[in-house]
Amino acid sequence: MIHLLLLSTAIGATDPSAYPLEAGLELPAAEILRLDLPVEWLERCPDGGTYLLLDAEGRALPFAARDSDTHPSPRRVALEWEPIDTNDAWGWKVEAPPGRAPATALRLADLPVGGVGVVEVAAWGRDEVLRQVVWNLPETGAGVQEDVPLDAARAVGPWRVRLRWAEGLPWPRLGRDYGWEAVLSEPWGVDTVPLEVDIGPAVPSGETQSDRQLHLPRAGLPLRGLTLGISDPLFSRQASLLGAEGPVADLSLGSGLLERERYDALPVERVRLDLSARSPAESILRVEDGRSEPLAIERATVDLRGLALLVPNVAAGGHRLLGCGPEAAAYDLERLEERLASIAPTRAIAPAPAANPAWQAASAGAGLLAAGPALDEDGFRWARPVLGAPGLVRVPLDEAVLAGTRPGLPDLRFVDAAGRQLPYLLREEATGRVIAGVLTGREERGATSRLQLTLPAADLPVRALVLSTDRDHFRRDLRVLAGPREGAAILAVADWLGADAGESRLVLPLDGRVPADPVITMDNADNPPLPVGGVSLILPSIQAWLALPPEGGVRALYGHPGIAAPSYDVELLRRRVLTQPVEAASLGAAAELAPPPREHGKGLVLATVAGLALLLFGLIARLLKSQEAPRES
């Protein structure tokens, strides 16, 4: 108890102004308090050492951070087991866990074979089956880990376990390089924490794959799983989560099989990928669709590494929790673990954080808040209000902005209510954005099919066109023309080879601006016209990151014919800014500030040509008159 008395004295005060987040909380008196951190804290401050807990007098309390990686709940313990003889299956007698603690599941670890199997678990010496499930194990089988959930009220071993092939396939012989484990509830263990995240629509990334952008609130989150809400009744697809930018671009963060099937009248469902990685801010879910339509994925939830703070000798009363500090705190609580086995946990949950008004530390995005010099708005064609809450926001740039700016967006500016420039960063997503239903007409001219497209705007920077058909075994030569008129420029050519079976899809890359009415020509040769189910566009998906001031009144200006690209110091903080928590904002209705630069330029050229022509005619007339005068004399 001496050690705990030493711990009861709070350590020296730490400056709260170094922590951007805070929450007030009432805590009960406890010899050791377990303070669980909800997802609102974890998505902003995922590391335990960056927290500060103050008592009512403002003194810092020592704590030990415990996470779901090192102290998972439930906990897994190895069990004693031995094989038993059965006629048509593998069989085991699996002993009870130490202390005969009730198990929430049995786990077969490191199974060296794969296939579809039916598992039955019964109490030893009894015929009643406690649980029957189907395992669809990878064919490689190496290192397979599978759980059989159990009802904790009846899950005290020993158990009799049978595993047989659902399809009657022969069983290989097993050695002993695998084992049985019990999954036990752990009062001091920490669970992973679910966080629902935004997932974008399916974007074709080849003839048999589709990609979806996964938007995480920030980079650096410790991901432990991804669970998908899929509405399709039956499916079986391989999937992987990939990094979308920076050093982890195209690096797999986790992969596995997504399936919803039935074997031997038993349902099988896998809609979760196991992950063990720090997240990039943007990632891609890639699914192997084969010749099937992309899965209907309606929602996505990531599991974050859970975190709890163990605080010894807590006095009842008001406390203050601060988070996201600049460096990890270090407390000498090595012997705290020895007390946990004999103390029942007193639990509390921290409330959601709020901004700490005393925060004085330099924010990674502080440079965004400083407005620059006033901007001369002459020459900009369009102005649109930015709609969003004050603070760091990301503004998706829609088709009107993409079409109304010059390539590379050099003429995009943001100004505050006083007309001063606001620095910003541009971020482009890897998958792009899909716009469906642009096929508006079709005409057959002999052996050539002409597909008329109508785009949302002219001069869009289209990444690719996507065509689909329900036919297979065909070959067609395609051209994309800049318009329906004769002699229109060719924007792209492609050779479309149909699939061996099922639906066929073509992703046709484009490079450059596309007019509003392009045409696709398809040479059918001596074959009947090929039916096309639809044509979609893939556009760049670009966001502008900036900080909105509290007074509001921010506008986006674009459409300037000659202004150079801006140069902002915040580009030096790009990596740090783009890993910060950010809120979504949008652009309002556009107001036209000036006539189209193209029309103005054309009028100026015509006026100049007309003036030069009149001047030339005058010079010719004077020359002729001067030649006639000597002849008369």
CA distance 563 to 347: 60
Specify the DSSP element, H or E, that contains 622: helix 597-632
Alpha helices (runs of H) in 17-152, residue ranges in sequence order: 39-42
CA distance 537 to 131: 49
Classify each residue of 335-364 as buried b or exposed e, where b means 16 or more C-beta atoms within 10 Å of its C-beta.
Answer: ebeeebeeeeebebebeebeebeebeeebb
Q: What's the confidence (pLDDT) of residue 11?
A: 44
Label residue 311 exposed, middle or buried (CB < 10 Å: 0-12, 13-18, 19+): buried
Whole-angstrom distance between the N-terminal and C-terminal Cα of the chain?
133
**Residue 589: how many other CB atoms lie within 10 Å:** 7
Q: Which residues fall within 8 angstroms of residue 274, CB to CB, at 6 or more apart? A: 224, 225, 254, 256
Closest CA to 72 of 332, 219, 324, 276: 276
Cβ atoms 558, 459 nearer than 8 A = no
CA distance 96 to 180: 11
Going from the C-alpha of 595 to that of each of 397, 572, 592, the distances in angstroms are 22, 36, 8
Closest CA to 4 of 312, 377, 445: 312
Q: What's the confidence (pLDDT) of residue 534?
A: 84
Cβ atoms 89, 132 nearer than 8 A = no
Q: Which residues of the chain have pLDDT under 70?
A: 1-14, 49, 87-88, 99-101, 112-114, 138-145, 152-155, 165-177, 245-250, 264-265, 281, 326-338, 341-342, 359-369, 501, 579-581, 596-633
Q: What's the confidence (pLDDT) of residue 163?
A: 82
Q: What's the confidence (pLDDT) of residue 144?
A: 63
Please tell me whether residue 571 adopts helix, strand or coil conformation.
helix
- Is the entire prediction scored with pTM above 0.75? no
Alpha helices (runs of H) in 370-498, residue ranges in sequence order: 399-404
Q: What's the confidence (pLDDT) of residue 152?
A: 59
Cβ atoms 44, 323 nearer than 8 A = yes
Please tell me whether residue 613 adopts helix, strand or coil conformation.
helix
Q: Which residues fall within 8 angstroms of residue 611, CB to CB, at 6 or more apart? A: none
Backbone angles phi, psi at 575, to 5 degrees: -65, -40
Torsion of CA 614, 619, 622, 623, to 10 degrees: -140
Written as six digits, the tokens of 436 are 């469906």
CA distance 461 to 404: 10
Identify each DSSP E strand in 185-306 by its residue range. 193-199, 203-204, 209-215, 222-230, 235-243, 252-263, 266-270, 272-278, 282-288, 297-304
Q: What's the confidence (pLDDT) of residue 505?
A: 84
Label residue 69 exposed, middle or buried (CB < 10 Å: 0-12, 13-18, 19+): middle
Closest CA to 251 of 243, 259, 263: 243
Going from the C-alpha of 217 to that of each of 86, 271, 494, the distances in angstroms are 52, 22, 39
> Dihedral sign, CA of 10, 15, 18, 19?
positive
Q: What's the confidence (pLDDT) of residue 620?
A: 64
Q: What's the confidence (pLDDT) of residue 173?
A: 57
Q: Which residues fall within 8 angstroms of residue 435, CB to CB, at 6 or more apart? A: 399, 456, 536, 537, 539
Q: What's the confidence (pLDDT) of residue 579?
A: 65
Cβ atoms 293, 12 nearer than 8 A = no
Written as six digits, the tokens of 180 are 């049985």
Cβ atoms 555, 585 nearer than 8 A = no
